[in-house]
Amino acid sequence: MRQTERFPVEGPNALWQMYNTVSKFKAVRNFVFIQLARYCPSLPLKNWIYRRILGVKVGEQTAFALMVMVDVFFPEKIHVGKNTIIGYNSTLLTHEYLIKEYRLGEIHIGSNVMIGANVTILPGVTIGDHAVVGAGSVVHKDVEAGSFVTGNPLRVIRSPGDVRTEPREE
């Protein structure tokens, strides 16, 4: 189960009330810097924007590929370990605005993790060290360290305890 906090709302759906949860200034500022980072070809500069301006916790040698979209409203709830790759056009969401409530949850991505292209990571998810998430996946639950997962719905292809067998030469 994802670790999210739930906040009920009265009146119209929660998205109509988003500026009650985050300031317009923060949203616009974050949007501008996220767009700069999305197109930035320099990984050190991109990580500097995430760390210093947006408050994302980013480990050394982590690489955010072109077009990665981090959460506009709450990027400070994203934690990424060292030497991790976030694939092209992936989305990291730390909020969900629903009809009668909104939810917030941190994203924790370990070290030496490979996130494929076009992956969506939902709020409240933890992805363990050395995990691999296949391209196009929707990560709606925690991913165990060392496992390989893919798809929508997410399924485990290889667990850390699985024994690899190499083909025998005849």
| Predicted pLDDT of residue 168 | 56
Q: Once rounded to an integer, what is the mean pLDDT over residues 99-123?
A: 97
Bridge partners (DSSP) of residue 95 are 104
* DSSP type of residue 143: B
Q: Once rounded to an integer, what is the mean pLDDT over residues 156-161?
A: 89
Q: What band does 167 get if pLDDT is binned at 50, 70 and 90? A: low
Residue 163: is its pLDDT beyond 70? no
Q: What share of the chain is helix, strand, coil (3-state, %, to 5)?
A: 20, 25, 50
Task: Report pTM.
Answer: 0.92
The total number of residues shown for the chain amounts to 170
| Predicted pLDDT of residue 169 | 65
